[in-house]
Structure 1
C-alpha cells in the first residue's frame, strides 16, 4: 500500500473491523456496539474474504474478532495476519489466544505462575495411553476420584462436553485425547470472572456441580458445561441447597485476574474460579477468550470504551 493512501486513510474517521459468527453477534447484541461507534463517528466494517480481495481497501485501525475453528475462519485469519502490524490493533492477538486453545497447555501455563490461585492436579491422556498407563499417571500425580474428563481442545462446542469419572473401573468411559483433572468440592458455587481490558472485570456467581464426596452412584456422568454453569442451568449435578453461601475476597480475585491476563496477554477473557471447601484455596479451572459475557448488561458500552483506549481517542 502506498504511503499516500495510508496518509489519506489517517485523515478519515477511525475504522474498526469485526468478524463474529451470527450466533455470537446476536448473543453479545453487537449491533449496540456498532450503533455507539456510529454515534462517535467511528466507522465499522464486517470483515469478509471479499473485503480483503477488493482494491484499495481501508485497513482497520482495530479488529474485533471471535474466529471459529473452521476453514473459512482460518483463511480470514491468514489475511488479517498479512496486514501491516504498525497500522492495525488486533483484539486479541492470535498468538495470545493460541496459548489457551489446548487445555493441557493452558493448565500448564496457569501452573507456572500460581501465586494467588491453585490449579487442580491434571494429566494429559493421548490416544496411545491405555487404562493401566492412565491409572499409573493418576497415582503419580496424586489425583483421586472423582475426576473431570475434559476434551484437550478448549474451543468450539465439543470442547464443552465433559464427564465425571468416579472410579478406576470406569476409566474406559473417557474420550481420548483429553485432560483428566481432580474434581474439587466447592459447595456448588462457580465464580465466572469476565474481563474487558485491564483493571475492568465483573464477577458473576453461578450454580455449579454439587459436592460429590457423598454422591452414591459410581456411574459416569456426561454433560455439557452450559448445563451446569449457565444462568438457566438445570441439571441433576447442580447443588440444590439454598442455605449454602460462598463469599469471595474481591482483592484476591483482582490479583488472580491480573495474573491470568498477563500470562495469556488477553483483553477479552473469561476465568472460571471455584473455592475449595476444604482448604479455602481459589482454583482456576478454565480460561476462555472472548466469552459470552452473560449477565453483563452494558458489555457493548464497555467494549466501546476499551476500543477508545486502544485507539487513543475520546
Structure 2
C-alpha cells in the first residue's frame, strides 16, 4: 500500500515539474509576480472531486501551482509553500500541521486543525449557530432542538420524553469522520424505534421544509447557494399511521439539484443575501474557518424562519457552480493580504 502511495506521489511530482506556467493579463485580481504554491494533502476521493482539470487549468493561468504533499515525509522538508490545503484525518496528522503552523507562520494553513475538529462532532457543530441566535428584518436563523445519545440505546425513549422533543426525529451519527456512514441519517416516526440504532448519535427534531435544502458554500468572504432536493414533509396523518425507523444515505450529497426544478416559489426562494452574509461573517469568526458549507432549510409555511442542520468543512466544492473562479480568486486574495500586512508592518529604526 505504501509503495502504491509513493508511486502516485512521484507521478504527481513529475506532472507538476512539466507544468508550463501561464499568466493572464488584465481582469480579476492582480496576478502574482511569481507562482503561488499551494501544497495539498487530500484523500484520493477529495483530490478527484476538487482538483478537476478546469480548476488546475485556470489556476495555472493565474499563476497558482498545486503541489502534492507527501504525508510520509516531514512537512518542513517539502515546499516552500504559500498555502497548505488539507483534508486528512488522524491525530498524528493534526499534530504535524499544528507544529508546522508554529514553525512556518508565513504559510497559510487552510484551516486550523483544532477549528476543524469542532465541526466534526455534532454535539458541538451547531452550538455557535444556536449561540448567535440571529434575528433581523430578513429573518431568523436557529437550529432544531436536539439530544445527544452516547450509550445505552434502550434509554432513548425516556431521554426523548424528558427532553420534550417532538416527532418525527432525525438520527445522525455523532462523529463526522469523512466516511459515507457518518453522513447517513434515519427518520423515526416513534421514539421507541430509535432503540435499534447504534450510539453515539444525535437525535434532532425534523422540521418540514418543503423537501428542499439550501447548500450555502462559503469560500473566505464569497458565498454561493444552491438548492438540493431533501426529505419530503411529514404530515400529521403520516405521523399517526406510520411507525419505525427509515434509513437514508447522505441525502444532501446524493440528491439531485433542485435549481432548475418547477417548485413552488415559497419553497424555491433562496434565503435573503443580507441574512446569509451576516450569518457567514459571524460563523467565520466564531468557528475560525474559511472553507465550509451550511446545510440550511426554511420551515415550510414560513418565509423567514431558517434552520442550520449541518456544517461541513471543505465540502464538495466541485459541485458548486463557478467554483474554480471563486476558489482561485480566494487563494490569490490570501497571498495578497499577507503581503500587504508584511509591507505595512513598521520597521524599527536602528538606535
TM range (shorter): 0.7 to 0.9
Q: 1:129: how far off?
A: 5.6
1:130 aligns with one of 149, 154, 173? 154
Mapped to 2, the partners of 1:53 and 1:265 lie a distance apart of 23
1:61-118 CA-to-partner distances (Å, cap 9, x unmatched) read 2101122x35xxx444433322224121101111211111100111233322222411
Quick one: structure 1 residues 293 and 166, their matched pair in 2 at CA, closer, same or farther if it must change by over 3 Å? same
Deviations 1:256-290 (A, max 9, x none): 22222222121111101111125541100000011
Secondary structure of 2:126 counterpart = helix
Q: Which one of 290, 299, 302 corresponds to residue 276 of structure 1?
A: 299
Instruction: After TM superposition, give the deviation of residue 181 of structure 1 in Å.
Output: 0.5
CA shift in 2, pair 1:181/1:52, >3 Å: same
Find the counterpart in structure 2 of residue 59 from structure 1: 80
Distance 1:211 1:241 in 2: 17
- TM-score, normalised to structure 2, is 0.74
User: How far did residue 305 of structure 1 move?
Assistant: 1.0
Match of 1:305 in 2: 329
Q: How many Å apart are 1:20 and its aligned residue? A: 1.5
Structure 1 residue 12, shift from structure 2 partner: 6.9
Give the conservation status (yes or no) of the 8 Å contact 1:110–1:263. no
| 1:208–1:229 Cα contact (<8 Å) kept | no
**Contact 2:292/2:313 (<8 A) preserved:** yes
More off after superposition, 165-174 vs 303-312: 165-174
Larger helix percent = 2
Give the conservation status (yes or no) of the 8 Å contact 2:128–2:283.
no
Which aligned pairs between 1:93-104 and structure 2 lie closer than 5 A?
Answer: 93-104=112-123
Distance change >3 Å, CA 232–CA 12, structure 1 → 2: closer
Runs of at least 5 residues in structure 2 that lack an aligned partner in the other structure: 1-32, 136-140, 340-351
Q: How much has 1:210 moved relative to structure 2?
A: 0.9
Q: Could you say what the CA RMSD is over the residues aligned between the two structures, in angstroms? A: 2.8
Aligned to 2:42: 20
> How far does residue 29 in structure 1 lie from its aligned partner after superposition?
3.7
- Go from structure 1 to structure 2 and tell me whether the alpha carbon gap of 1:233 and 1:146 turns closer, same or farther (over 3 Å shift): farther
Q: Is the 8 A contact 2:153 2:198 kept in 1?
A: no
Per the alignment, residue 220 of structure 1 pairs with: 245
Which aligned pairs between 1:1-314 and structure 2 lie closer than 5 A? Answer: 13-52=35-74, 57-67=78-88, 69=89, 74-83=91-100, 84-116=103-135, 117-128=141-152, 130-131=154-155, 134-157=156-179, 158-198=181-221, 200-213=222-235, 214-215=237-238, 216-226=241-251, 230-232=254-256, 242-243=263-264, 245-246=266-267, 247=269, 248-278=271-301, 280-293=304-317, 295-312=319-336
Give the whole-Å Cα distance in 2 for the aligned partners of 1:136 and 1:306: 49
Tell me the distance in 1 between the aligned counterparts of 2:95 and 2:200. Answer: 27
Contact kept in structure 2, 1:19 and 1:64, CA below 8 Å: yes
Matched with 1:7 is none
The structure whose Rg is larger is: 2
